[in-house]
Amino acid sequence: MKKRERHQRKKQLGLIRVNKNLDKQDLKSRTAPEGEFRIIGVHKLNKQVWIEDTVSTFAKAKEVVDTFQERADVIYYVHNDSNRIIYDSKKE
């Protein structure tokens, strides 16, 4: 398995964060580019927020969120280009 493939696999499993940490108050930076979907990770205990990935389709965003390792202390949200949460990893 090539290095890039391993990196992509780890990314899909939620083992690595690929983007920057965000200020909790800065909601504008969570908005996805037009026509895309942004995956945001939130650590429930320390309230750390980060951009996990940006993808071109909702189906891909949902697939990525669903393949992350289930962790009780992290919730993943899918934001659309209107900054609305349209999917999350909460198991209720």
pLDDT, tens digit (0-9, with 9 covering 90-100), for 45-92: 888 888 888 899 999 999 989 888 777 788 999 999 888 889 998 865
Collapsed DSSP state (helix, strand, coil) of residue 58: helix
Mean pLDDT along residues 27-46: 81
Predicted local confidence at residue 53, as pLDDT: 86
- The number of domains in the chain is 1
Is it the case that residue 18 has pLDDT exceeding 80?
no
Predicted local confidence at residue 42, as pLDDT: 87
Is it the case that residue 16 has pLDDT exceeding 80?
no
Taking CA atoms, 25 is separated from 22, 29, 47, 72, in Å, by: 8, 10, 11, 23
Predicted local confidence at residue 25, as pLDDT: 57
Using alpha carbons, select from 53, 49, 76 the residue that is nearest to residue 65. 76
Predicted local confidence at residue 15, as pLDDT: 45
Predicted local confidence at residue 45, as pLDDT: 85
Residue span of the structural domain in which 8 resides? 3-88
